[in-house]
Chain A
Amino acid sequence: METVIPKTSVVLSTLLRADFTTQWRNRRAVMLTLIVPVIILVSWKGLIPTFGGPFALSNSITIGLFASGLMGYSNTVARDRDKGIFQRLRVAPVPSWAIMASRLMVQLAMILLITTAVFIIGKDYDGITLTPIAYILTYFTAIIGGAVSLSLGQMIVGWIKNPETVNSTTRLVYLAFIIIGMFGELNQLGEAVHNAVQWSPYGTVKTILAAGMEPERWNSNASIALLAAILYTIVFATLGIKWFKWNTK
């Protein structure tokens, strides 16, 4: 009797349904991911006439993306690995890439949700509107930015096995990104930090998002930031995949 293996499309759609259900049941964590960008957007209303709408929107989306990639993705992967959930899936006729692809699709949906939420609140509360092409371009740059944050999360979860340590490390990195990124951006921490922040993962993501919101002002700086963001993604993802172990035993 010939062994029949299920179609990859069927396997992937089944995994997606389970992963989206899991994400839905974790909607409190999703709300926490959204809350910091929303607070920033609301509290920065007074800065918008000085710095412009794209400044506020791009910072908010950047923070949301890093919250999702670092605290959302890496922590669930660390937990599922520690509990043996991945091992149980891997003994089924499921290609390993499909398990991760399903997780990443959920994160892609999160990226689009964060970006859309920031757009809606930016428009309704702060009166920030963009051109249609700018909205489209920002969704594109948000996906690139999301890739940077997810690959950074992957690198952390590849490097560290203990889920509690992954949790505390991602929170520290996230806080460092918010504090150094935002204050450095506003030139509150000196010129050296300002320059370093600009080319950090946070800075490059923020730059391409802001440039995407004003396509007519896209310049060589934005193009270099885009290349840097892609480079960061490649380096982080390569190390994250290389170091990653499916179990902690």
Chain B
Amino acid sequence: MDQESTNILTVDGLNVSYGNFQAVQNVSFDVRKGEIFGLLGPNGAGKTSTLSAIEGLLKPQSGAIIVDGNNAKEKPLHARASLGVQLQSTSFQPELYVVEVLQLYAGIYGVPLSKDTLTAMLKDINLEDSATKKFGQLSGGQQQRVSLLIATIHNPRLVLLDEPTSGLDPQSRRQLWERIEAIREKGNAVLLTTHSMEEAEAVCDRIAIIDHGKVIIIDTPQAIIDKYRNDPEVISVSRRGKITLEDVFIALTGKAIRA
């Protein structure tokens, strides 16, 4: 099988700008079948802009985005149908009950949903008693589980998760990692953005570090650590003697706090 046929997502020479500000510059990467791919970068590095372009929320200046064989420019609806998306701050109609939100998204993805299936889905995320609660009445962890369930309701080939564990307690975070890994086990792919190096090391098969809109490096977390292990800059920022992904990240993107 050649590389092209194993790619679920191909981003090639992507450029995104807001007026005169170039948020994403010539970004290229691919996400393969059964892979969890992490997009890492400081605030304002261009992660969300890259994700937004893939999701179809932003019109790129140039570059190609191919989702499961569908060119997002030529076949935007087909590309979006292959994607499951969890936005950074997802909100659903506050008047609707959880079960109605699920029915809404199942309907717009063309997924038939019987009452039994719905009950089983809610049971799977330990929310069978919350079917008639409104989304806003759920806790942060429960909202996250519903959001992920909706993102995967149509069994998409690629799931995009924008900072999925931000604000979650350790238990909820661990549970979410397991759910993300379950997506990979089905042979689908995950592209996630995160600020947590621990998360990237724990769940990502490969990562791309992006800064100032440009990709600095793409590889497995361990390969990146190994590559920079003896770099004086990395050693100088290391806090515990043992080189971690965070040390490499800080060395590559700088110590300065971003807005």
Contacts and interface: CB of A to CB of B under 8 A. Distances in A.
Contact of B77 (A5, A15, A26, A247): A5
A163 to B, nearest CB: 13
Interface residues on B, range: 20 to 34
A18 interface: yes
A5 B93 contact: no
A87 B95 contact: no
Given A84-B89, A91-B56, A18 B104 contact: yes
B95 A92 contact: no
B68 interface: yes
Given A21-B95, A84-B90, A92 B110 contact: no
Interface stretch (A6-14, A117-125, A127-135, A214-222): A6-14
Nearest to B107: A14
A83 interface: yes
Contact of B92 (A4, A7, A88): A88
B117 interface: no
A190 interface: no
Contact of B100 (A13, A21, A80, A89): A21
Interface residues of A, number: 32
Contact of B96 (A1, A14, A22, A94): A22
B110 A87 contact: no
Interface of B: 55-57, 68-70, 77-83, 85, 87, 89-96, 100, 103-105, 107-110
14 contacts: A3-B69, A3-B78, A6-B81, A22-B95, A25-B96, A84-B91, A85-B92, A88-B87, A88-B92, A93-B78, A93-B81, A93-B109, A94-B108, A247-B57
Given A3-B68, A6-B107, 19 more contacts: A6-B81, A6-B109, A14-B107, A17-B107, A18-B96, A21-B100, A22-B95, A25-B95, A26-B95, A84-B87, A85-B91, A85-B93, A88-B90, A90-B56, A91-B55, A91-B87, A92-B85, A93-B81, A93-B109
